């Protein structure tokens, strides 16, 4: 197992309130495995990924739980060891590319920074020319047109799609073992979404990376992952091999989520999911989906369902299967 999260609780604090977002999340990634996380907006997907690298915003607190990465206990690891993991082993593609790029430095300086660290740690002492050549190759690998101009640009001088590719290049350079991709294409126009996805997919396979792909684009998760988790309001609702999850979803939420996904072939627009996510300041005591669930029973409101193993590859948290 490369990564194993157990019973993770994450809260955000504001002056007046505590938002109890992640509520005992678990997740496992085997070596070489591609894992998807799906769930509607606000369900805690980004919070989950940021917790793994301990890069939550300042008001985000990991209250409880365990994160084991490659045999290391992330939550009790020193900051310098963590920094090394972030720079060399685990790369992250952020939902918002500007969040990952520094607006005041040219692209090449940001790439040099990553490359220098990587090359020095491999016992090399790169010259300026070597750094330039390597940075150019990084940008060529992500199929950026006119990479020399991009190297000499500031992030604001690039289009959204170009910034996204620069960030992907950076993430893939840091990702020797694990890639965390958070909605890697939401900011892109549809014509290049597909290209970027293929690009990520090919690079992941070529480097034999493990990956977590977070998205509400279900088709993408279906195509690109081996196993998937369904997150709703900070709780894992279901886990299965991707094929089984999409073809035989068991949890009512998964069933509704999958059937409400817009399909080009279907007639008209699907209804979507009625209701909204619960208030994280005062979340339901039992199943967090109970208030919206068409099958909810009285115990759903009071008792949080334990994970139930339907078969070796399929787990669901629902009292219907108790
Ligand atoms: N810094 C913060 N302070 C307070 N609440 C926050 C903070 N960051 C996120 N949240 C809240 O935590 C919840 C989960 O947010 P998160 O960004 O993890 O969801 P998500 O699943 O990634 O959503 P999306 O699909 O829209 O990206 C949301 O209700 C959000 O408002
Ligand atoms: Mg998000």
Q: Residue-wise over 22-40: b if at least 16 C-beta within 10 A, else e?
A: bbbbbbbbeeebbbbbbbb
Q: Which ligand is nearest to the CA of 283?
A: 1
pLDDT for res 22 = 98
Question: 261 and 275 in contact (C-beta within 8 Å)?
Answer: no
What does 251-296 look like in DSSP terms, one character per residue? SHHHHHHHHTS--SSSSS-----SS-PPPTTS--SS-TTGGG-TT-
DSSP lists the bridge partners of residue 149 as none
Q: Which ligand is nearest to the CA of 44?
A: 1
pLDDT for res 272 = 66
Cα 48 to middle of ligand 2, angstroms = 9
Domain assignment of residue 132, yes or no: no
| Rounded Cα gap, residues 214 and 179, in angstroms | 11
Atom 9 of ligand 1, nearest CA residue = 47
Domain enclosing residue 39, as ranges: 3-89+175-274
Picking from 20, 49, 22, the residue whose alpha carbon sits closest to that of residue 36 is 49
Domain assignment of residue 290, yes or no: no
Q: Which ligand is nearest to the CA of 38?
A: 1
Picking from 56, 82, 7, 30, the residue whose alpha carbon sits closest to that of residue 234 is 7
pLDDT for res 24 = 97
Cα 302 to middle of ligand 2, angstroms = 28
Pick from 16, 42, 184, 232 the residue to mutate for probing ligand 1's pocket: most ligand atoms within 8 Å of its CB: 42
Cα 45 to middle of ligand 2, angstroms = 5
Cα 127 to middle of ligand 1, angstroms = 42
pLDDT for res 267 = 52
Cα 188 to middle of ligand 2, angstroms = 15
Residues 6+ away with beta carbon under 8 Å from 189? 161
Pick from 18, 47, 96 the residue to mutate for probing ligand 1's pocket: most ligand atoms within 8 Å of its CB: 47
Give the gyration radius of the chain's Cα atoms. 21
Atom 10 of ligand 1, nearest CA residue = 12
Per-residue pLDDT tens digits of the chain, which is 322 residues long: 999 999 999 999 999 999 999 999 999 999 999 999 999 999 999 999 999 999 999 999 999 999 999 999 999 999 999 999 998 899 999 988 777 899 999 999 999 988 988 888 888 899 999 999 999 999 998 888 899 999 999 999 998 888 988 999 999 888 999 999 999 887 677 777 888 888 888 889 988 999 999 987 898 899 999 999 999 999 999 999 999 999 999 999 999 999 887 664 455 555 567 788 999 999 999 999 999 999 999 999 999 999 999 999 999 999 999 7
Domain assignment of residue 234, yes or no: yes
Domain assignment of residue 150, yes or no: no
Domain assignment of residue 182, yes or no: yes
Domain assignment of residue 147, yes or no: no
- Model-level pTM? 0.93
Atom 17 of ligand 1, nearest CA residue = 46
Ligand 1: lining residues by beta carbon, under 6 Å: 12, 19, 21, 41-47, 57, 59-60, 95, 216, 280
pLDDT for res 235 = 98
| Rounded Cα gap, residues 45 and 236, in angstroms | 11
| Rounded Cα gap, residues 177 and 137, in angstroms | 20
The dihedral region occupied by 32, where left means phi > 0, alpha psi between -120 and 50, and beta the remainder, is left
pLDDT for res 270 = 56
| Rounded Cα gap, residues 66 and 254, in angstroms | 26
CA distances from 173 to 177, 202, 218 (A): 10, 14, 27
Atom 1 of ligand 1, nearest CA residue = 57
Atom 27 of ligand 1, nearest CA residue = 41
CATH number for 29: 3.40.50.300
- Number of structural domains (the chain) is 1
Cα 44 to middle of ligand 1, angstroms = 6
Structural tokens at position 274: 């009625």
Domain assignment of residue 117, yes or no: no
Sign of the C-alpha dihedral computed for residues 112, 113, 118 and 124 taken in this order: positive
pLDDT for res 143 = 83
Cα 108 to middle of ligand 2, angstroms = 28
Domain assignment of residue 302, yes or no: no
Q: Which ligand is nearest to the CA of 12?
A: 1
pLDDT for res 189 = 73
| Distance between first and last Cα of the chain | 28
């Amino acid at each position: 197992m490369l990564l194993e999260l157990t019973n993770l609780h994450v809260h955000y604090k504001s002056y007046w309130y505590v938002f109890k977002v992640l509520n005992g999340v678990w997740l496992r990634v085997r070596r070489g495995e591609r894992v998807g996380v799906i769930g509607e907006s606000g369900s805690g997907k980004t919070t989950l990924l940021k917790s793994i690298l301990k890069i939550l915003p300042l008001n985000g607190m990991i209250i409880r739980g365990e994160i084991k990465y490659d045999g290391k206990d992330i939550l009790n690891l020193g900051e310098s060891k963590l920094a090394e993991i972030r720079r060399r082993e685990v790369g992250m593609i952020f939902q918002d590319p500007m969040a990952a790029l520094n607006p005041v430095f040219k692209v090449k300086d940001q790439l040099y920074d990553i490359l220098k660290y990587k090359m020095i740690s491999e016992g090399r002492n790169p010259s300026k020319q070597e750094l330039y050549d390597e940075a150019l190759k990084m940008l060529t690998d992500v199929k950026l047109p006119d990479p020399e101009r991009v190297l000499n640009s500031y992030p604001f001088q690039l289009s959204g799609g170009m910034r996204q590719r620069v960030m992907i290049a950076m993430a893939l350079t840091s990702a020797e073992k694990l890639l965390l991709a958070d909605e890697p294409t939401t900011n892109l126009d549809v014509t290049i979404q597909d290209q970027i996805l293929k690009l990520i997919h090919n690079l992941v396979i070529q480097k034999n990376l493990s990956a977590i792909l977070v998205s509400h684009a279900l088709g993408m998760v279906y195509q690109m992952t081996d196993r998937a988790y369904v997150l709703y309001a900070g709780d894992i609702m279901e886990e299965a091999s991707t094929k089984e999850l999409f073809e035989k979803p068991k949890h009512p939420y998964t069933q509704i989520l999958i059937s409400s996904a817009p399909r080009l072939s279907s007639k008209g627009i699907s209804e979507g999911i009625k209701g909204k996510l619960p208030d994280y300041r005062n979340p339901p005591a039992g199943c967090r989906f109970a208030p919206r669930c068409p099958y909810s029973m009285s115990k759903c409101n009071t008792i949080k369902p334990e994970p139930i193993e339907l078969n070796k590859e399929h787990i669901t948290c629902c009292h219907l299967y108790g």
